[in-house]
Amino acid sequence: MTTGQSLHYYHVDAFADRPFTGNQAAVIPLTEWLDDDILQAIGEENNFAETAFYLPDETGEADYELRWFTPTIEIALCGHATLASGHVILSEQPDRDQVTFRTRRAGILKMKRDGEGYALGLPAYAPDLKDFPEIVELVGGSPVETQFHKGRYHVLRYQTADEVLALKPDLKALGALGNQQFICTAPGTDTDVLSRVFVPGGGVDEDSVTGSAHAVLTPFWAKQLERDSFTAYQASQRGGYVNCRLDGETAWLGGNCVTVVEGLFRI
């Protein structure tokens, strides 16, 4: 492992309008890619749901290239750490209104200023009806509907928010299924939609506010509610609010960010 380098480091609370809420992300700008084992070690050291790394995109397809690492693996899509990365860039470039990211498996992602906050455009992952009784047993409760989006996204819709709040899933058993995401959702109380998201196989037992889950929930609830826009709350310990809007094949997620730490990461 290469040592003796100092990297700029930002700790950002994403989908948050004040410190200590929303989802924590580490953001580290680079000038060239470090070895994957170093990137993964940094993700493990930070121990946040995700650490985001970006550098200028040399292909001309986007402004920056972006990758995300949990404490254990590199993942295909992370919304909150993308929002946090865009926040860092746009905060340092106040005359700029938007930024684009080229990712390795999720395509080109766009983020723009939206009032006092931001809007992040992610691919809309519309799930389809699917039964998975073994997973329901591990998650708990009695969902009225289950759906799945190819790859990793399991949606369990419950009748009430209280049912979702009361869930105590078997995280060890769910984690043994690999890097799967278990999205438990219901109509909200002070928002249109409420959710909790579990990703134990990806190193995150319960995520705080999950952008990729809302890329699934946006088309899911747009169909359920019969409208393209709605408000959402992820009821984790930290909690966070997301404004969701479906625009064709794009899920626009609105929220704020707060930078709580700036410094150097030494390797």
| Active site (catalytic) residues | 50
Tokens 């990703």 locate to: 199
Strand spans (E) along 70-126: 74-75, 98-102, 108-114, 117-123
- Measured on CA atoms in the order 182, 187, 190, 192, is the torsion positive or negative? positive
Q: What are the two backbone dihedrals, phi and then psi, of residue 188, each rounded to the nearest 5 degrees?
A: -85, -175
Report the run of H or E that residue 242 belongs to, with start and end.
strand 240-247
Q: Which residues contact 19 (CB under 8 A, 6 or more apart)?
A: 13, 258, 260
Is there a contact between 173 and 135 (Cβ–Cβ < 8 Å)?
A: no
At 121, list the tokens. Answer: 């455009």
Q: Which residues contact 200 (CB under 8 A, 6 or more apart)?
A: 171, 172, 174, 175
- Amino acid sitting at position 103: T
Is there a contact between 120 and 96 (Cβ–Cβ < 8 Å)?
A: no
